[in-house]
Amino acid sequence: MDTIEAIHTRRSIRKYTDRPVPRELVTEMLRAAMSAPSAVNAQPWAFIVIDDRKILEEIPTFSPYAGMCRDAPLAILVCGDTTLEKVPGYWVQDCSAATQNLLLAAHACGLGAVWTGIYPMKDRVEGFRKTFGLPEHIIPLALVPVGYPDQEPGQQDRFDRKKIYYNTYGKREE
């Protein structure tokens, strides 16, 4: 699968089979995540791979849009490490780029995944902080449940010319 195809065909997958995800694929996804660009190449991220069934079933109790964790064979928690920042505040953008790479890598590996947001929702941040023993400098940004897809959402063309301007806001292509 080439990059453009992966971008256009990736969809949020919320239903998974019970087939376990091999460690080699987890490593491949994390390698892709860590290849993301970051401000001043700081790479201010940390990842927690979650495959403990008890923890996966607990997550939806404090993260309301992560119900699919109950059926996912694993999830990856993407966190920002503020001690690694070289440009304060950019950890959010850096970790978002890593999360997108993770999603694309999962798709390219034949897996399904979905981005569930955590930061800046204080209740969710605290739920993940408590559950995973995160110190103050590690901030959970996103949780990505991953597994072999048990659904096939159709491809969508989201291109919209009305959202494109040239040189100034409001100026359309001539």
Average pLDDT over residues 77-86: 98
Q: How many CA atoms lie within 13 Å of 161's alpha carbon, on the beta-carbon side?
A: 3
pLDDT tier at 1 (50, 70, 90 boundaries)?
confident
pTM: 0.96
% of the chain residues with pLDDT over 90:
95
H helices within 64-135, ranges in order? 91-108, 122-132
E strand residue ranges, 56-102: 74-81
Range scoring the smallest mean pLDDT among 16-20, 39-43, 120-124, 154-158 = 154-158
Q: Which domains does the chain have, with CATH numbers?
A: 3-151 (3.40.109.10)
CA 103 from chain center: how many Å?
Answer: 6
Under a CB-based contact definition with an 8 Å cutoff, are residues 102 and 73 in contact?
no
